[in-house]
Amino acid sequence: MNKALEPVKLRNIELKNRVVRSATQDYFGNHDGTVSEEQIKIHETLAANNIGLIITAHNYVTPAGKVSLDQNSISADLYIDGHKKQTEAVHKAGAKIIMQISHAGAGAMELDGNPPVAPSAVPIPFPASDATPKALTAQEIEVIIQQFIDAAVRVKKAGYDGVQVHGAHQYLFSQFLNPVYNKRTDEYGGSVENRFRISERAIAGIKKELGEEFPVFLKVNSNIEENDEAYYDDLIYVAQKCKDLGVEAIEYSGFNFTALGRQGLRKYYLDRVAAVRKEVDIPAILVGGIRSFKDMDEVLDRGIDMVSICRPFISEPDLISKLIAGQEESRCLSCSKCFVLPKRTGKRCVHHQ
Ligand SMILES: Cc1cc2nc3c(=O)[nH]c(=O)nc-3n(C[C@H](O)[C@H](O)[C@H](O)COP(=O)(O)O)c2cc1C
């Protein structure tokens, strides 16, 4: 049997195999932030096709952290019921599912004419709004930390098997961690201890509120745009801190996965993540450019605990079943048109008819 199909036990969660569906915005959410029937079907299909752990798309913890109209919300109790239907459908089909919770920070839409908020007034690439972001006060940061904790309480009530805090790509928590976007001089800027503090407090608060045994995951970038060598040391700090906080596993992505995929590369961040995994003993999930059982073997053989996949599952939600049946690799071109196609055509992939 392929190693990816072996069961795995993390601290407080047992999974039937090592394959993860990475968080994926499908653009089919209802415009009031609730889960649509179509989304439930998407997750049900994934669950029926040999994926051990499904991670939902990022759900905003507050309307000020929302990035698109069709994004799901977990910012109030009214959203719990729709999510409950989704967790029930996935559990019935035989998989586990956790919710990714996020705040888009500088990437968010304007809310009631107000600019998005960020660690510092530094714009990010591809923001949802042209407005210059406003730097958060320490008091406003406290409010956001509480919004993450409140969101996680709802995640548990909705029947999810855990929660993933989104600290990757160019969203709020990664803006704090990355010195390119964080120019603060208070306890949330400067040293890595300070830059990771907002994530640390959110995770610690969730654990305190929900109990040590409720699974909490973190997604982070394994690389950044500038001074990436120094960022390696930051990652070691983050991994060690997550271990101390009782995080189940860290999922490592990167800021530039779209460009790397278009170059035809595979397993973009393997070398770096394997090095971090060797230095700090906390389970690691690698995402980015994993397309076949051969890729998965190469990742797992380097000491990484789980493999995570996004774009191939958009094209072929039954990819793992097909690989088991003998298909060699995903047909995904890593073209990333899945970011724009659903809005333009209603289709999710260039391969869909
Ligand atoms: C259409 C689309 C939507 C995505 N939505 C999310 C998301 O909601 N949260 C997140 O952390 N990453 C999101 N990602 C990034 C993926 O989870 C993943 O990190 C990245 O696509 C690299 O993996 P892959 O090469 O297997 O696609 C998205 C990617 C795509 C293409």
Kindly state if the Cβ of 310 falls inside 6 Å of ligand 1. yes
Residue 150 pLDDT > 80, yes or no? yes
Which range among 39-48, 125-134, 301-310 shows the weakest confidence by mean pLDDT? 125-134
**Residue range 196-213: average pLDDT?**
98
Closest protein CA for atom 10 of ligand 1: 23
User: Mean pLDDT, the chain, as a whole number?
Assistant: 97
Tens digit of pLDDT for each residue in 101-145?
999 999 999 999 999 999 999 999 889 999 999 999 999 999 999
Predicted confidence at residue 25, as pLDDT, reads: 97
The CB of 168 under 6 Å from ligand 1? The reply is yes
Looking at ligand 1, which atom is closest to the CA of residue 309? 26
Rounded distance from Cα 22 to ligand 1 centre (Å)? 6
Ligand 1 center to residue 310 CA distance, Å?
A: 5
Predicted confidence (pLDDT) at residue 275 exceeds the cutoff of 90: yes
pLDDT of the residue at 325: 97
pLDDT surpassing 90 at residue 343: no
Any ligand 1 atom below 6 A from CB of 170: no
- Atom of ligand 1 minimally distant from the CA of 166: 11
The dihedral built from the CA positions of residue 225, 305, 334 and 169, taken in this order, carries a sign that is: negative
Return the ligand 1 atom nearest residue 261 CA: 25
Query: How far apart (Å, rounded) are the C-alpha atoms in residues 33 and 72?
Result: 4
Ligand 1 within 6 A of CB of 20 = no
Cβ(182)–Cβ(195) below 8 Å: yes
Closest CA to 127 of 147, 144, 110: 110
Nearest residue to 108 via CA among 155, 152, 75? 75
Q: Which of 310, 320, 330, 335 to mutate to test the pocket of ligand 1 (most atoms within 8 A of CB)?
A: 310
pTM for the complete prediction? 0.98
Q: Which CATH number fits domain 3-345: 3.40.1190.20, 3.40.50.1370, 1.10.150.130, 3.20.20.70?
A: 3.20.20.70
pLDDT score, position 126: 86
Mean pLDDT of 210-226: 97
Tokens of 181: 């976007």
**Percent of the chain scoring above 70 in pLDDT:** 100
Give the torsion through C-alpha atoms of 298, 299, 303, 306, to 10 deg.
-140
Q: What's residue 262's pLDDT?
A: 92
Lowest mean pLDDT among 20-29, 85-94, 143-152, 341-350: 341-350
* Per-residue confidence band for 88, with pLDDT thresholds at 50, 70 and 90: very high
**In the chain, what percentage of residues exceed pLDDT 90?**
97
Characterize the bridge pairing of strands 96-102 and 53-60: parallel
Q: CB neighbours of 35 closer than 8 A, spacing ≥ 6?
A: 29, 72, 79, 82, 83, 85, 86
Pocket flag, ligand 1, residue 174 (CB < 6 Å): no
Q: Kindly report, residue by residue over 242-253, the tens digit of the pLDDT.
A: 999 999 999 999
**Local confidence band at 1 (pLDDT 50, 70, 90 cut-offs):** confident
* 24 Cα to the center of ligand 1, angstroms: 5
